[in-house]
Structure 1
């Protein structure tokens, strides 16, 4: 099992937070070389391979006998990739997924005793205010890496398990020395766009991945849910949906979703941003076609499989008819009762 020991001494968390989080913008020659090889790939490959344009030069990906991701190297540097079967379905009980909606600022994390915590994208910034230990982390948005390499540097230098796609890992390598990674890496991939392989057509998804671990909701657009991340994940156009698939695959029975606001995202800063520093968001445009129907289909499916999902965002665009809602204070009451 590769999950971090669930001990919570504040000194240990503070020690990780005090690490110098260094990163460097790619040099002009490096950017020019990357762009050149990307264009060469575009000219020589069809659109079905376009998602691999950053992965063909200097990148090696190895799969096991079942076709699951196993190893990855960049420019000859082997990454500390750990994709063991025994990690899946190895956990039970409660866990917490901390997204980056502004409602996170309404939660008094000092009143909570959280275990089994996953962060996504910029959730690591919560450590500026609270000594939250992240056992797991998930980043599937290459744009986030390009825009906030400072936050990504903080993630990779902590002792956690990072669930990440090969493409995102390639982008991280452009900013941060791979030899200085302190995190473990678990490779995941979009089920429709496998790394270094041709994209699957809609009708090929089920025939190629015939398994009870995968449920296809719709073919146009491609919506579904994966109970086995080794086989791939479905893109619900928000990293929180990917994180939900990861935590379910790990075996957790109850998943508390923090900061799952998804409301007026283009005009509303994330919990760690201001109006002046906020980055663009595509959530509003993707909500009706991808995000809402993904969660709406997944909720009853998870319930039937004994997984409870709780949304702690009172102002979330996902109504209680989709996901159960509760107030974060209920977690504080549980923490007090356990003392």
Structure 2
């Protein structure tokens, strides 16, 4: 355990050193970025403010239908796979199942070497399980820029894996600034935010209803603008937690049975995530204050919607703040026994499902 922690800390120090070196080489660029951001802020209304980072050096490409298709950052074109949807590999041998691994502390109690994880999507710091328990990720979802700023060491480990990363243009902008596009080896799928689309004005709920039909998105009858995207190319609702965005990604990819790991959301402000070493290393969390008005109703409405569409979701966090009436709870040990009785190979003996290495900038 000491060696593992030491390796993680060393990786973080290395990335921070790279950040410092990059920043020290481009003070003019940093000053220019700040100038254009402030200029944008004071010349645009609040409905446009979410675009202030795109005021200079960023070009967003959209197709004829208005969907994100590409992105240029300071002259470098990010190679995106949006036009290749659907991205689903051959799923018949996986039973159309996928595991969504979040970062709640309950993850520490799971022995992943006893599980057969044929397809896995991780969010934020879940990548730490690769080193700790040998978990391999096929997909990844990052929509939280705060995570990129706070833990570039973990983000770098994500982007160097042969997986498909679903991320917003703003997240990718921060990755470029914090780490550098030249280090990316993953596939990239640009994900728009339905409520704050990149490079565009934030739409009103009425406009969403008028623009998209029921095949594209579901808007929930709630006091807040809550919804669930049925067309990943149009974007996602963040639901104030990256796990909710990840759920929309997997639904769009066509999986019919989903297992949620680490979706705890209990006293998140004071409880370290599974990969954090204590209160001193904790990234701030806003799950507690957003749970009642945004997170819980989003998942509750999504549960009913997914059930109608034939998607079965099981929550492996037995003490999750999401009640069993939203998603049935299931102990991970039962899942391990199910795999064992079916004769599946444990995780540590399973060969890696290759997705290829893709150079993501030009």
Q: TM-score, normalised by structure 1?
A: 0.91
**Cα distance in structure 2, aligned partners of 1:336 and 1:110:** 12
Matched, 1:287 2:291: yes
Moved over 3 A (4+): 20-23, 88-92
Alignment correspondent of 1:187: 190
Matched, 1:79 2:71: no
Deviation at 1:279, TM superposition (A): 1.3
**Cα distance in structure 1, aligned partners of 2:103 and 2:162:** 21
Alignment correspondent of 2:33: 34
Deviation at 1:128, TM superposition (A): 2.5
**Cα distance in structure 1, aligned partners of 2:321 and 2:332:** 17
- Superposed CA deviations along residues 239-280 of structure 1, whole A, max 9, x for unmatched, are 000000000000000010000000100010000112221111
Question: In the alignment, which of 274, 279, 292 is matched to residue 275 of structure 1?
Answer: 279
Q: Which has the higher helix share?
A: 2
Instruction: Name the SS of the counterpart of 1:84 in structure 2.
Output: helix
Alignment correspondent of 2:356: none
**Cα distance in structure 2, aligned partners of 1:58 and 1:36:** 12
Instruction: Name the SS of the counterpart of 2:155 in structure 1.
Output: helix
**Cα distance in structure 2, aligned partners of 1:122 and 1:302:** 26
Instruction: Tell me whether 236-245 or 210-219 shows the greater mean CA deviation.
Output: 210-219
Deviation at 1:209, TM superposition (A): 1.7
Deviation at 1:85, TM superposition (A): 4.8
Deviation at 1:282, TM superposition (A): 0.3
- Superposed CA deviations along residues 52-92 of structure 1, whole A, max 9, x for unmatched, are 00012100111011111001010000112110353256665
**Cα distance in structure 1, aligned partners of 2:76 and 2:107:** 37
Alignment correspondent of 1:335: 339
Alignment correspondent of 1:14: none
Matched, 1:149 2:139: no
After superposition, residues 136-285 of structure 1 pair within 5 angstroms as 136-218=139-221, 220-273=223-276, 274-285=278-289
Say if 1:253 and 1:307, in contact at 8 Å, map to a contact too: yes
The alpha-carbon distance between structure 1 residues 155 and 204, as it changes in their structure 2 partners (threshold 3 A), is: same
**Cα distance in structure 2, aligned partners of 1:333 and 1:260:** 21
**Cα distance in structure 1, aligned partners of 2:109 and 2:237:** 30
Deviation at 1:301, TM superposition (A): 1.0
Alignment correspondent of 2:60: 61
Deviation at 1:232, TM superposition (A): 1.3
Alignment correspondent of 2:49: 50
5+ residue gaps in structure 2? 1-10, 345-362
Question: In the alignment, which of 318, 322, 325 is matched to residue 326 of structure 2?
Answer: 322
Q: TM-score, normalised by structure 2?
A: 0.85
Q: How many residues align?
A: 321
Deviation at 1:171, TM superposition (A): 0.4
Aligned residues: CA RMSD: 1.8
The alpha-carbon distance between structure 1 residues 216 and 327, as it changes in their structure 2 partners (threshold 3 A), is: same
Say if 1:21 and 1:153, in contact at 8 Å, map to a contact too: no
Matched, 1:24 2:19: yes
**Cα distance in structure 1, aligned partners of 2:85 and 2:236:** 18
5+ residue gaps in structure 1? 1-17
**Cα distance in structure 1, aligned partners of 2:185 and 2:310:** 34
Deviation at 1:219, TM superposition (A): 6.0
Question: In the alignment, which of 117, 120, 123 is matched to residue 117 of structure 1?
Answer: 120
**Cα distance in structure 2, aligned partners of 1:48 and 1:242:** 22
